Amino acid sequence: MLTLILMLVVFILGYIAIAMEGPLKVDKAASALFLGVILWVIYIYGLPGVLNLGDSPSWAEFQKSQMLSEFKTKYPAAGLLDQMKYFIISSEVVDHLGTLSQILFFLLGAMTIVETVDQHEGFRVITDRRKFTVVGVLKKVDIPTILFYLGILSAVAALE
């Protein structure tokens, strides 16, 4: 339980560091990467306290899996802590890296498409129709046009 509280405190401090990018003069990406690394380190060092709470369905599944029995066969002297570390390294980190990779590859493709359309002035229809000026605050916003494009984007997103 102490590990979870520590992780929560570190997350809140990291979130504040990301939000205070300007005054701290630290890039958001650097703060986020540092926060992620620190949270994983706390998680790994506090494994027994986190996984023994019984809140992890993936840990419960792993305990019944073929991977754990193969690990026990390969390393018969391995204790519960070694099993937990193997679970984190072989299962959790790989799953999270896979999910993160999917998101990054999708964003790279989407950013490439948007940049290509922008280079060929494909967004001119939108930029010519906008009716707002930025002087501190948006003054005149063409709400129907924005709602129309949001509807199209949500319909495209629903197709996936």
- pLDDT (average), residues 143-157: 80
Q: What are the tens digits of pLDDT across the range 14-70?
A: 999 888 888 888 888 888 999 999 998 888 888 877 777 777 788 888 888 898 888
For the segment 33-42, what is each residue's pLDDT rounded down to a tens digit?
Answer: 999 999 988 8
pLDDT computed for residue 53 by the predictor = 72
More confident residue, 127 or 106: 106
Q: From 37, 40, 32, 41, select the one nearest 14 (Cα to Cα).
A: 32
How much is the mean pLDDT over the chain?
83
- Residue 137 in this model has a pLDDT that exceeds 50: no
The CA distance from 160 to 147, in Å, is 21
Q: In angstroms, rounded to a whole number, what is the distance separating the alpha carbons of residues 49 and 146?
A: 49
Give me the pLDDT at residue 11, please: 94
With 70 as the cut, is the pLDDT of residue 2 above it? Answer: yes
Using pLDDT thresholds of 50, 70 and 90, give the confidence band for residue 96.
Answer: confident
Q: Give strand pairing partners of 137.
A: 135
Per-residue DSSP letters for the chain?
Answer: -HHHHHHHHHHHHHHHHHHTHHHHT--HHHHHHHHHHHHHHHHHHTHHHHHTTS--HHHHHHHTSHHHHHHHHH-TT--HHHHHHHHIIIIIHHHHHHHHHHHHHHHHHHHHHHHHHHHTTTTHHHHHH----EESEE----HHHHHHHHHHHHHHHHH-
Look up residue 138 and give its two tokens: 């948006």
